[in-house]
């Protein structure tokens, strides 16, 4: 089974980096955006290898970028392009009768049969324009021209130590809202139980302001079946009380698989029901 994490997960992640880094107001958060993106990719890969049992995954992007924490020096800035500019930014311009400033390089578009001119920034230079200045793709630099590709392959017969442990569990709800005092929450066991993945037992209950407001249920996730067999629906009963419309509560999941109890996850829910008088 093959997966390309490009137009789906990676495209969305990269778009987030571009949005953060391409504005002078938010470009200082570029490192944080990259870190969050890497975590999203790790989560996507774990889901593909665990839930869908993928054995080969390709991760790619259209190009890389440069980022510097210090302000851009004056020698790295080129004058803004003049002429009939049809399109352009800090790295390039396309148009007619373009005046090439110091720090720019003309590029012929004759091979494309296009009746236009093009100018790109030379080296690390960037043209004076709007947007951020610390986050750049570069003109014709290697990070702009080389397409990165990571290929993941699972080696048959060799379990990855980093993935050894208990099965992962997630709340299989898109809209996390409580609309009645009796409601069902579906849980999904991401991996099947195997020699590399042990069962997991979770104790679940709803809390508001650290006070339990529902029954408490212990669920054991020990399925060895396929995807369709690894979903469990659990019934919760909310304690009768006065709840404000739109008030928040959390579904607390505690891992009770071993000798000690540990917090596994907390999922926030919105209360959308009428109070009992």
Domain boundary among 153, 184, 208: 153
Neighbours of 271 (CB within 10 A): 19
- 153 or 263: which carries more pLDDT confidence? 263
pLDDT bucket at 274, cuts 50 / 70 / 90: low
Q: Which residues lie closer than 8 Å to 119 by C-beta, 6 or more apart?
A: 81, 92, 93, 98, 100, 104, 105, 106, 107
Q: Please give the tally of structural domains in the chain.
A: 3
- 4 or 48: which carries more pLDDT confidence? 48
Q: For residue 192, is pLDDT > 80? A: yes
Mark whether 168 and 255 lie in a shared domain.
Answer: yes
Mark whether 40 and 126 lie in a shared domain.
Answer: no
* pLDDT the model gives residue 186: 95
* Range of weakest confidence among 28-32, 96-100, 128-132, 177-181: 128-132
Domain boundary among 153, 184, 202: 153
Mark whether 55 and 168 lie in a shared domain.
Answer: no
- 253 or 44: which carries more pLDDT confidence? 253
What gap in Å lies between CA 238 and CA 206, rounded to an integer?
Answer: 8
Residue 235 belongs to domain with CATH number:
2.60.40.2550
* 120 found inside a domain: yes
* 276 found inside a domain: no
* 47 found inside a domain: yes
* Range of weakest confidence among 3-7, 109-113, 144-148, 166-170: 3-7
- 136 or 277: which carries more pLDDT confidence? 136
Mark whether 166 and 259 lie in a shared domain.
Answer: yes
| pLDDT tens per residue across span 125-162 | 777 665 556 666 556 677 777 788 888 887 655 544 44
Contact yes or no for 189/230 (Cβ under 8 A)? yes
Share of the chain above pLDDT 90, in %: 30
Strand partners, 118: 94, 107
Mark whether 80 and 34 lie in a shared domain.
Answer: no
pLDDT bucket at 163, cuts 50 / 70 / 90: very low
| pLDDT tens per residue across span 46-96 | 778 776 777 788 888 777 777 766 666 565 666 677 788 888 777 778 888
Strand partners, 40: none
* 136 found inside a domain: no
Neighbours of 141 (CB within 10 A): 20
Mark whether 195 and 85 lie in a shared domain.
Answer: no
* 135 found inside a domain: no
* pLDDT the model gives residue 69: 66
| pLDDT tens per residue across span 103-117 | 788 888 888 888 888
* pLDDT the model gives residue 132: 56
Contact yes or no for 250/266 (Cβ under 8 A)? yes
| pLDDT tens per residue across span 218-244 | 999 999 998 888 999 999 999 988 888
* pLDDT the model gives residue 56: 84
Mark whether 100 and 123 lie in a shared domain.
Answer: yes
The closest alpha carbon to 138, from 87, 78, 95, belongs to 78
* pLDDT the model gives residue 5: 46
Mean predicted confidence (pLDDT) in 160-178: 79
Range of the domain at 172: 161-271
* Range of weakest confidence among 96-110, 196-210, 219-233, 243-257: 96-110
């Amino acid at each position: 089974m093959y997966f390309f994490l490009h137009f789906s997960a990676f495209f969305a992640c990269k778009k987030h980096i571009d949005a953060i880094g391409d504005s002078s107001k938010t470009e200082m958060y570029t490192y944080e955006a990259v870190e969050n993106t890497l975590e999203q990719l790790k989560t996507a890969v774990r889901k593909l290898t665990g839930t869908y049992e993928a054995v080969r995954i390709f991760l790619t992007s259209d190009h890389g970028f440069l980022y510097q924490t210090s302000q851009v020096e004056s020698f790295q800035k080129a004058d803004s392009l003049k002429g009939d500019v049809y399109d352009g930014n800090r790295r390039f311009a396309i148009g007619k009768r373009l005046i090439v400033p110091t720090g720019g390089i003309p590029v012929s578009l004759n091979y494309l049969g296009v009746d236009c001119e093009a100018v790109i920034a030379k080296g690390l230079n960037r043209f004076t324009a709007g947007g951020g200045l610390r986050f750049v793709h570069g003109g014709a630099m290697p990070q702009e021209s080389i397409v990165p590709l990571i290929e993941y392959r699972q080696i048959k017969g060799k379990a990855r130590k980093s993935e050894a442990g208990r099965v992962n569990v997630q709340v299989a709800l898109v809209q996390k809202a409580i609309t009645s005092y009796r409601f069902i929450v579906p849980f999904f066991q991401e991996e099947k139980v195997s020699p590399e993945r042990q069962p997991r037992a979770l104790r679940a209950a709803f809390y508001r302001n650290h006070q339990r407001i529902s029954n408490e249920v212990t669920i054991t996730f020990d399925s060895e079946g396929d995807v369709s067999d690894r979903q469990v629906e659990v019934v919760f009963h909310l304690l009768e009380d006065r709840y404000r419309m739109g008030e928040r509560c959390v579904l607390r999941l505690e891992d009770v698989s071993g000798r000690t109890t540990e917090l596994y996850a907390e999922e926030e829910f919105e209360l959308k029901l009428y109070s009992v008088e």
